[in-house]
Chains A and B, each alone.
Chain A
Amino acid sequence: MMKSQRAFTLVEFVFVILILSVLSAFSTIAINAGYSSYLNANQLLTAEAQGRQALEIMMRDMHQLRSSADIVSMSTSALSFVATNGQTISYTLNAGLLMRQIGVGTSQILGQGIVSLGFTYYDINNVVTTIAANTRYINVNLGLTQSNASFHMSAGIFTRDLI
């Protein structure tokens, strides 16, 4: 064997392993933090997308109200009305699920992780009303919780045909 050729000693190997262990620990912390951040952001965006989609569907439905006589029932937590196709649309909150029921058929799930659903009704002069015949505006407020973060989304609907 040539004089310049030799293998690593045990001490050198242990030294390298120690360095690798320390660096791996730091890398794991950084990777874990990054992954957690990604998961949180992803869940929040999913919740936002659900809330937004649910509100868009509700706004589209409510814009089809033809007459105040089409409002079957209204409260601060639920709304039911007859749509232009003659079918009754109802919105309720059931165990974190925002439900949209058409007629007597199966309910559709508009959103999950919904902690509150609120309706506020306004008359022609922008005064809160509980009388269906006087309703001209409907505000919908959704409370959502995701990834330890709570937020609200609010939408307003001017019922264009209730003039």
Chain B
Amino acid sequence: MKALHGQRGASLMELITFILMTNISVVALMLVFTTIMNKVPATPTLSIANLLANQCMESYIGQRRLLGYSNSLLTCSNSPSLPANCTTLPGFNVAATIACNVTLPNDGSSISKTISVTVSGLAKTTMTALLASY
């Protein structure tokens, strides 16, 4: 069939260029996908960190109920010693702060303490609870 004036197919160079560009795009997309998937941590660290923080907070709540508001493990401090059952796992660090909230007018006594448990390392999380004296 005779071609109409001005109509022609793609040349070999155009075809090769198209194939090259398509493949480069596909490979680039797959590399991006691979990079993103490799960013997923080798272990589900955030869940582990949350469980560790919760474990430590359970211990503080237990101390409050079992030994009272003024027991030595609930002494207000920026770096209190952690209860023995407030354990950790490799790659994680657990720390806590206990802040005393004084009454108004300020008579120096506290009616509540803010407990913050912070887990750092492979993942970071902070859990906070308020313990009251009553």
Q: Chain A interface (Cβ within 8 Å of chain B)?
A: 2, 4-5, 8, 12, 15-16, 19-20, 23-24, 26-27, 30-31, 33-34, 37-38, 40-41, 44-45, 47-48, 51-52, 55, 120, 122, 124, 126-128, 136-137, 139, 149, 151-158, 160, 163
Contacts and interface: CB of A to CB of B under 8 A. Distances in A.
Interface of B: 2-3, 8, 12, 15-16, 19-20, 23, 26-27, 30-31, 33-34, 37-38, 40, 42-44, 47-48, 51-52, 54-56, 58-59, 61-63, 65-67, 73, 83-87, 89-90
Contact of A44 (B19, B23, B42): B42
A19 B24 CA distance: 12
A122 B26 CA distance: 57
A78 B34 CA distance: 41
Given A19-B16, A37-B37, A155-B54, 9 more contacts: A2-B3, A5-B3, A26-B23, A27-B30, A122-B84, A128-B84, A139-B85, A151-B43, A163-B65
Contacts, number: 126
